[in-house]
Homo-oligomer: A and B are copies of this chain.
Amino acid sequence: MKNQLLFIAFAGITLFSCKTEPTKKASISEASDNYKQDSIQIKNIFNAALTQGQSYEWLRDLTQNIGSRLSGSEGAAKSVVWGEQLMKEVGLDSVWLQPVMVPHWVRGEKEVANYEFNGEKINVPICALGGSIATPSNGISAQIIEVKSVDEAKNLGDKANGKIVFFNGAFDNTLINTFQAYGGCVGQRYGGASIVGKFGAKGVIVRSMTNGIDDYPHTGSMGYGDIPTSKYIPAAAISSRAAENLSKHLKENPNLEFYFKQSCENLPDAPSHNVVGEIKGIENTDKIMVIGGHLDSWDLGEGAHDDGTGIVQSLEVAYLFIKNNIKPKNTIRIVFFMNEENGLRGATEYARLAKENGEIHIGALESDAGGHTPRGFTIDANDKNRKLLQSWKELLAPYGLHDITAGGSGADIGPLKDEHVTLVGYRPDSQRYFDYHHAATDTFDKVNKRELELGSASMASIVYLMDKYLYNDEPLKP
């Protein structure tokens, strides 16, 4: 016990083997040599990231000189050019663009919302949800019906007719991982309009998806599912504080009239691109490991934590391999996916082309959970590879990477899912993420340089280990 703790405390050089897989033929001393070598290489990766890292300046450039990058926008188009050029500058062996058509939704004029309460006009911070239709040009006004969940909304029936339905389900703040709280609420935002549109509701307003009480509306995607176009209704998010107040005011005056106006529009699909670059593998050129994030962002902030950080960290994985003269066995491919936020068209097209071209993907890693301090990885893989990745806990623990658990990976690499592919999601600390998520507050100044760089190094370290050890040469299911 004491020794083990010393190992953890002093990190890096231990006598423990990290490979205990019983089918592996390596002797204990070989495994121990590997452990030492890996421990040193990981330390080198972290040292390079923390002293020569470029991700922070790349992110400054992307967020300050381009800014938001909603699919189909000028910002998105500029970011494709930016990404292609940067990949070339970093020195990838080849860089190319994958054309893809993307949804093109535009917000239009700044939205307006208000209601009268006790003779006073209350202005409400509001924004249209991505994909929503506009209100009529003079807005809509109706009585409010408040619900706290999708299930409650499903039971509204005729009661919703002619009303604005107010989805006010709040995050469960007792959940330590804030993504779980998001998961418990986001159905209101995505599906609310389709549920109550059927009942003849006039519109939908949704409490913003965030842990705290703030004055920012947090946007995000919504869809109309399979309801007829005639039943489409405008949908918007209001700030969490406005939601709290509205709920209180409704208790005093259940008949208050809520007004909102938005002029957003779904335009025809627009041309865009995934940006792809790679370092060729020296042994298995035809076997590919993908590392990526998404280049597009919502329009309200600068797309810093969502997902500028994932973009620059992914590229920094390649940069750190080059800086440390690590020659991967397999081909390492960096992908800046387009349109994760409202369509996943880039990811879908990437996976389609991979299949069409008969490419062999053995692993994929996504960073799309913000740029905060590292916590670990979630793994979606067969048992053998999942256990392999979890056997690296001791190697990674000195860098704060303790949470290495089975779980989902990421939206953009999800379409590559297959029994032979090891999908991994990078998991930084989640506490602050939804303070900024999809809001005007998702800006460069919220990103900490060291936290960002530690993330790049965490990702490069697991890619280094996956490249070296991943089991990929045998079909596991006949």
Contacts and interface: CB of A to CB of B under 8 A. Distances in A.
Pick the most buried of A5, A178, A375, A431: most chain B CB atoms within 10 A of its CB. Answer: A431
A298 interface: no
A5 B174 contact: no
A173 B9 contact: no
A55 B173 CA distance: 16
B1 A173 contact: no
A472 interface: no
B212 A449 contact: yes
Interface stretch (A97-105, A268-276, A400-408): A400-408
Given A51-B174, A448-B435, A449-B212, A405 B454 contact: no
A391 to B, nearest CB: 9
A397 B46 CA distance: 24
Interface string A146-183: 00000000000000000000000000011010100000
Nearest to A6: B406
A172 to B, nearest CB: 9
Given A174-B51, A399-B176, A5 B451 contact: no
A176 B398 contact: yes
Nearest to A451: B431
Contact of A405 (B5, B51, B406, B450): B5
Contacts of A407: 9
Nearest to A43: B174
A454 B2 CA distance: 28
Interface in A445-470: 448-451, 454
Interface in A1-45: 1-2, 5, 8-9
Interface in A205-242: 211-212
A381 to B, nearest CB: 13
A324 to B, nearest CB: 13
Contacts of A448: 431-432, 435
Given A51-B173, A176-B398, A402-B402, A429 B432 contact: no
B432 A400 contact: no
Contacts of A390: 1, 5
Contacts of A431: 373, 448, 450-451, 454
A356 B129 CA distance: 66
B173 A450 contact: yes
A450 B211 contact: yes
Contacts of A387: 1-2
Nearest to A391: B1
A73 interface: no
Contacts of A86: none
Pick the most buried of A47, A173, A178, A398: most chain B CB atoms within 10 A of its CB. Answer: A173
A66 interface: no
Pick the most buried of A2, A176, A373, A402: most chain B CB atoms within 10 A of its CB. Answer: A176
7 contacts: A5-B406, A9-B405, A51-B173, A176-B399, A211-B450, A372-B373, A432-B448
Interface of A: 1-2, 5, 8-9, 46-47, 50-51, 173-174, 176, 178, 211-212, 372-373, 375, 387, 390, 397-400, 402, 405-407, 429, 431-432, 435, 448-451, 454
Given A9-B405, A211-B450, A402-B402, 9 more contacts: A46-B174, A51-B174, A176-B399, A176-B400, A176-B454, A212-B450, A373-B429, A431-B451, A432-B451
